[in-house]
Amino acid sequence: MGSINPPSSFYDSVWRVVAQIPVGRVTTYGDIAAHLGRRGAARIVGWALKDAVGGDLPCHRVVNRNGVLTGRRHFETPHVMAERLRSEGVTFVAEDQVDLDAHRWRPGKR
């Protein structure tokens, strides 16, 4: 109680940011949290995305701070996230880790 942003309001903000991630780019849970003024709320960003998987948002474009596909278990199969990213031209440095240096998109930055 007394929270600045109730979870549903914060979730809506997360979803608005995720909707803006360009094709072929990825961002991190922490990048989204920081952009929304809630540095340290990366886990809550993850919860918001878990609730949105299966909808129209490109949740597959959000990875952890090391580029690892930690959200993959919330998709139809564990391989869907990687398949979608590869189909958009995102390259990988390991089986479940994107090349974050090459594809990172930071909300609010050009």
92 forms beta bridges with 98
Of the candidates 33, 44, 49, 59, the residue annotated as catalytic is 59
Would you state the pLDDT for residue 7?
58
Q: Which of the two residues, 44 and 3, has the higher pLDDT score?
A: 44
Q: Which of 16-20, 34-38, 50-54 has the lowest mean pLDDT?
A: 50-54
CATH fold of 7-103 reads: Arc Repressor Mutant, subunit A (1.10.10)
Digit-coded pLDDT (tens) for 12-34: 999 999 999 999 999 999 999 99
Query: In sequence order, which residues have a C-beta less than 8 Å from that of residue 55 and are 6 or more positions away?
Result: none
- What is the residue extent of each domain of the chain? 7-103
Reply yes or no on whether the pLDDT at 79 is more than 60.
Answer: yes
Percent residues over pLDDT 90 in the chain: 76
Q: Is 13 a catalytic residue?
A: no
The tokens for 49 are 């995305």
Distance, CA of 5 to CA of 37 (rounded, Å): 11
Q: E-assigned strands of the chain?
A: 27-28, 62-63, 92-94, 97-98
When the pLDDT of each residue in the chain is averaged and rounded to a whole number, the result is 91
The three-point CA angle 47-30-49 to 5° equals: 25
